[in-house]
Chain A
């Protein structure tokens, strides 16, 4: 038996992975279905000499993250959809001021107060901005708990590398389910490179003041700042795009991410057993979106079925990546309802029949 494997709940897995990555500061506010995450942090971080603080609101929490990130430490917040909406102002400021942090969204049904069951309806908000201004953040959508652990750990490195917020986009299922995982080594934050730009007080060590700021009242200066950010986002696109393709020789493909991709895999296997030539494109980084994955299949692919727990959001990015030559069909559920494998395989069978593909 593998002694390193531990059976854990998703929300707790993210929390422990963050702690392992050297995150010692957490600011949050209760909201279902992510409550196990702050609860875990509330004992784990003090145990490691860190700070857990329950803020008076999601708005305050993200601004505490801003302060701590600006002071140069690895810091995290988590929430679920309505709470993430409240954080959008802060996320824009974090991106504008170039501050690294990790934000977890265990998405639930919306809009408004919605439901507390899993959904993927915050895809637009996460990948297209959410807050005001031209900014981007790396958005990662794991589809099992080991990947959730690994991506959470890596997200702190990505955040520090680009001085930019990174979002882990999970959902209610991802937060609530249990799976065996293997955690990476516990990192001592003292071993991380010192952030020379952080507002730690000059401490008699430097003459110049450090300033964390996103205000450029002069339009030309603000334009220059945007160009600098734009170059950073270009580098993220180049280096941080992640995806998985199952069956690269297939004729028809599903495109799905996160929990939905797991359900799709079930439909996929049943179709393949019945002789259909189908595969799966699973974006792991939702921004930057893996256009390359779709480009790599352009020679052979004859059509796509996009499956989401939303009314159709990522499907727009798939259509942009695939172009107008191929049919891109959509099947989705919303409000906390999960798609059924048989509905998914029916959709694919219909597409294959219409296009005239073979078994």
Chain B
């Protein structure tokens, strides 16, 4: 019984242990930032590696917490992403005064996400969700003296509090109409009566806020622009991925009887998200803002994949998120390096970047090609599987418009590539020496972009673990 407890809660316990260890290090004698970052990166790697050993199915705490190989895989993806982000932010944190606090905030959100992904009860889900958003707002304000940073944090905390209020009102109505909070018992009591549909809409809008689907996307660009680059990377990859994982399992399992209702809602949300994300991405000059709108557009494609509601649907969403982690973090790796060393974040500053930093230029180009979905990179396969999963329902208008929008997205992704390689600039960003940690992160990202696309065993493995509606 006790052994079960330790094995099932393995990943959460490891993260908790790291949090406590960091607290003790903080209380102990002062250490230099280089040593601290070395220790922390090692710990995060161990955390990632420990996710692969001895996992098993099971439930704990009266079905509040459940785990299975798919959930373990999802947590491993999040562990990998936080390790990569930590490696990339080395040059930013090297001179920062509050290194440990930064990691305490990030790891507590990670712990919240783990509980959210594993939740078998709406109460547990809500606790995990709040635990993963409240510290994140504090982390968004991490550049305490910057005006933009505090503005971003204010926008994040107010909009996330509003969205969780919507979600809670939905949950309270669900409790009133069904009498249960257990996710596996919900389907038996759901019958698509108007009050339940209203409750479902509120829950869905709470989710849509967190994954920043249009029309709930308004906070995204501002928060991404104002927050420090590492937090932006974390928001756009880890927190979005975690909510999407839960979203898929909640829609497929708990809201199964409402499948017809949410199919139509996803249709509208997804089209609006893809189109508006693309149109706004075209006119951005700030790199982080640009990636914010690009990530909004990507969420539209993920919603299309979710609508397939089959085993392919789940598998393609998780596969796409894995690729999205690699490609987005490769782009953010370069941006965080440039922003930490030179303080420049605009696309126009990147003109003629290739003449001074050929290696970084290639990395960001590969990342953008993968985000756009150009064949040799993994991004193409990710989007292809999403469209395939969505096409199973036979709604070809949806697929057609999404495919047309992929063409639009080429325009703005390739515009950046053009600025880097072809435009002339009298004062390009000077040569940047890449620290070893960042180099490692960039190599892993580029390798991931290429290998996940070419090695079919990755997709097959995810497919074998996932289940449909």
Q: A and B: partners?
A: no
